[in-house]
Structure 1
């Protein structure tokens, strides 16, 4: 292998240019560098200036950067960019032959003389506080091997890509988007321990990151995740990664054979191979190679049969254009039995507060909507009905009529006036959207964001707090179900079909206190009715949260009011937003919540967070009433970790 050639940018001309472009560089050079940014570059000279300027803008001054020209045909252009930047902290190394992304990173990291290294792709960029924040995490905890953050996409797509890390207790990664390759700061000593990036030819299509992290986590990697993005990943077009995915089956076979003992030991082999076969199948399908797509989908189905894999296998038999047209709804008028889809390609990530009413739901909404990046309007009441009616009428109406029909469900609900919003401009705009956006998820997303905009907010995430969503449709209609608590709320299931990436915040409260609150609010005439409602809703909601554990967070009301900071910080972490102090002092915002000042039973929401009410019911109910309560809800109280209804009041 030919040794790389180094081109240091330390000339007097570069220093002079640097003096013109940034003040104080001489002082910065006197500081001991702590982190090296490694920037591999191949055919990306046109993006390199933006990338390097984002490094120069860092609030952490003592960095160095190494640009690795991987024998790029536009190598002269790469050298010119580095020379024009003229920063003596940036140097250029050129490969005499192409070695791929993994080889380029290895070259740059090997040449680094700092404790920390940070891979950055040449067409991406970082926020000004990126290096400072990640170095700070590694400096604060010597046991950490690396630190990273979720990734902000920009360009063709603009949303936050989450990297949750491997599930707790699992010693390896199985799928992509577990931890980023570019954008993760490493201790150089850990990179050496793992053995650097594998430079095998089969991994050159963009999977060297994944194989590295398989070894890293098998070696006990201790990673720290920051929720607020500091790395910005450029998306040029929606299918930019398709070509590299076409060979995912060969890559999976290579990685599996290399780490067979680890896969067999952890029982991850089938899931890993099936997942990558599916990715390769889809990539081949959308570029027109249906035969290979079908073979790969069938291999995945045979390894682990499922309805989803069978569906993908069947889809591969038909042209992509036909399936795309069906999904977008553009065949709707020509083929009447086709329905507009529930969702499109865009993956929204709203959150839903679930659980029975009178559990602190509205207080929780007040806290959440006080965050600058979150918005929760008044109770919608009609989401479940909208989804059912949209599916029923989606094959019978043209798109403008369907849009009007959906929003009529909101507009003609008796409590919609509490939203304080004008729907007419929204309906007009949505009636004219492109075919690819004609789906229910797009309508809901536009509705909630329009409400936020009309109330002066541009949130990152919107949410919904409607206790009726957690209630089985038959109970909401007044019918008593035959088998209380045996399933999960169907409205929540429907919501998840529309928003498969949604988050669910299950707030629950001691059933005795909840029953008392229902009775005092006049929602039920008898203790039995109130107790049955609490038991039915909470048992089903608990099952729903357990079924979708990775998307659900349990919030205990008693913890929320007694230790609000810790609980709210945990909620922010779960939702992927930074904690804001205003959330704990949000009582002044209650008048702006629409439904709160309208109803007397929300009077407590206007007061500061306090822990006066937990346990109150056991002091108010008589011994005989508590005996009846125990018979009705005792099992469910125990399931939530509460004492029996008959326990002596504190």
Structure 2
């Protein structure tokens, strides 16, 4: 029987915590431990967490007296993990129905897989309905190095690494999350994990995300330059540390920076067209700082290579996104 420690960091998410925990307890898996780590919430999160723990012995609650930041909760979860598998689930998200069972079955079937990721899905804005569509079965496997290259080639897009099911032994080897990476710490961590083993990806979602005004990523919604700078920082951190000696590391790092520069270039054009000159100028300067050649050779191929880029550009030109 494969056991799993599910870590739920929580800060002022009393409203979302019951649905998050219920989504874990409803998974068809044995050997489940749910560890809620509250980071000195000022709402009723601790009260809600303790009430949930009273009802189910699989739940444990740890309460910080002071706010230590989210990375402290992530890393405490890593230190306390003792099961075969490990996963961090944000308290405002939920597990997709049956996703833990599917992920654990992949790890049991495929010993070379170090981690399991889910398919990308559109996040819910606001409440997540209690009944969700069943997720498709099946999975695919990618060598860790190939996955890292895939991340570099799509550096300006979403990484799909919001939630990671991991062999605990692999997580212990990879170590802690880095507090210096405010928003893209999961992207950097998944590349570190991919240095250790292969990456399995489910055809269905692993986690269902919820987007709201107090979401940690909400700070990036209207600030494309900052979003891209955070991505650049994640790649810089990885290639200056664990990724420096992987095959073709310098080429991969250049690819990631080039893709981020291309994304910034066309995002700048979009901002200029929509009358957001100051933001557009900032993006253009950032883009050319990463790759000065773009001023001479605009990256037209980026529009054809990036999923949805042409559609978004057409929407801007037609005025649909103004």
TM-score of the superposed pair, with normalisation by structure 1: 0.38
Name the CA distance, whole Å, in 2 between partners of 1:209 and 1:56.
Answer: 24
Structure 1 residue aligned with 2:282: 295
The Cα of 1:208 is off from its aligned counterpart by: 0.5
Give the structure 2 partner of residue 229 of structure 1: 205
**Structure-2-length-normalised TM-score:** 0.71
Does the 8 Å CA contact 1:297/1:309 hold for their aligned counterparts?
no
Displacement of 1:124: 1.1
Q: Which has the higher contact order (CA 8 A, sep 6+)?
A: 2
**1:198 and 2:198 matched:** no
Change over 3 Å in CA distance of 1:186–1:96 after alignment to 2: same
Equivalent residue number for residue 208 of structure 1: 185
Distance 1:33 1:170 in 2: 25
1:91 maps to which of 60, 73, 85: 60
Could you tell me how far 1:230 is from its partner in structure 2? Answer: 3.7
Give me the whole-angstrom Cα distance separating, in 2, the residues matched to 1:296 and 1:193. 37
Q: Which SS does the other structure have where 1:128 is aligned?
A: coil
Residues of 2 paired with 1:221 and 1:310: CA distance? 32
> Within 2, Cα distance between the matches of 1:37 and 1:292?
40
What secondary structure, in the 3-state scheme, does the structure 1 residue paired with 2:209 have?
A: strand
Equivalent residue number for residue 162 of structure 2 = 181
d(CA) in 1 for partners of 2:233, 2:212? 29
Q: Tell me the equivalent position of 1:522.
A: none
Q: Is the 8 A contact 2:144 2:199 kept in 1?
A: no
| Secondary structure at 1:153 match in 2 | coil
Partner of 1:132: 101
Deviation at 1:232, TM superposition (A): 1.3
Map of 2:308 onto structure 1: none
Q: Is the 8 A contact 2:140 2:202 kept in 1?
A: no
* Deviation (angstroms), 1:326: 4.8
Distance 1:192 1:244 in 2: 34
Among 245, 248, 251, the alignment partner of 1:267 is 251
Matched residues in 2 for 1:178 and 1:165: separation? 15
Q: Distance in 2 between matches of 1:78 and 1:278?
A: 42
Candidates 52, 65, 72, aligned match of 2:21: 52
Task: Say whether the 8 Å CA contact 1:248–1:276 is kept in structure 2.
Answer: no
| Superposed CA offset, 1:262-293 (max 9, x none) | 59734133432244456678499599974354
1:60 positional shift: 1.3
Closer/same/farther in 2, CA of residues 119 and 328 from structure 1, 3 Å limit: same
What runs of 5+ residues in structure 2 fail to find an aligned partner? 304-313
* DSSP-derived class of the 2:15 partner: helix
Task: Give the whole-Å Cα distance in 2 for the aligned partners of 1:154 and 1:146.
Answer: 22
How many Å separate the matches in 1 of 2:39 and 2:277?
A: 34
Matched, 1:251 2:230: yes
In 2, Cα distance between the equivalents of 1:220 and 1:108?
20
Give the structure 1 partner of residue 309 of structure 2. Answer: none
RMSD over aligned CA atoms reads 4.0
Instruction: Report matched runs for 1:60-99 at 5 Å.
Output: 60-74=29-43, 77-85=44-52, 86-99=55-68
**Which is worse superposed, 131-140 or 102-111?**
102-111
Correspondences of 1:150-549 after superposition (within 5 Å): 150-156=119-125, 169=146, 171-172=148-149, 173-174=151-152, 175=155, 176-182=157-163, 184-200=164-180, 203-204=181-182, 206-217=183-194, 219-236=195-212, 240=218, 241-242=220-221, 246-248=225-227, 250-252=229-231, 254-258=233-237, 259-260=239-240, 261=244, 265-277=249-261, 282=267, 290-301=277-288, 303=291, 304-305=293-294, 306-308=297-299, 326-329=317-320
Among residues 85, 89, 95, which one is paired with 1:116 in the alignment? 85
Once the two structures are TM-superposed, the CA of residue 70 in structure 1 deviates from its matched residue by 2.3
CA contact (8 A) 1:154 1:232 kept: yes
Structure 2 partner of 1:23: none
1:185-243 per-residue CA deviation (whole Å, 9 max, x = no partner) reads 1011101111221122xx12x210011123222x2431111102242122348x94415
**Unpaired runs of at least 5, structure 1:** 1-31, 313-322, 330-344, 346-435, 437-650
Decide whether the 8 Å contact of 1:154 with 1:233 is kept in 2: yes
Question: Deviation at 1:141?
Answer: 2.2
Task: For residue 249 of structure 1, report the CA deviation from its aligned partner.
Answer: 5.0
Q: Deviations over 1:472-506 (max 9, x none)?
A: xxxxxxxxxxxxxxxxxxxxxxxxxxxxxxxxxxx
Relative to 1, partners in 2 of residues 1:141 and 1:166: Cα closer, same or farther, differing over 3 Å?
closer
Contact 1:149 1:163 in 2 (8 A): no
Q: Deviations over 1:343-362 (max 9, x none)?
A: xx7xxxxxxxxxxxxxxxxx
CA distance 1:47–1:309, change in 2 (3 Å): farther
Alpha-carbon deviation of 1:94? 2.5
Residues 114 and 196, structure 2, Cα contact 8 Å, conserved in 1: no
**Whole-Å separation in 2 of the counterparts to 1:246 and 1:133:** 37
**SS at the partner of 2:176?**
coil
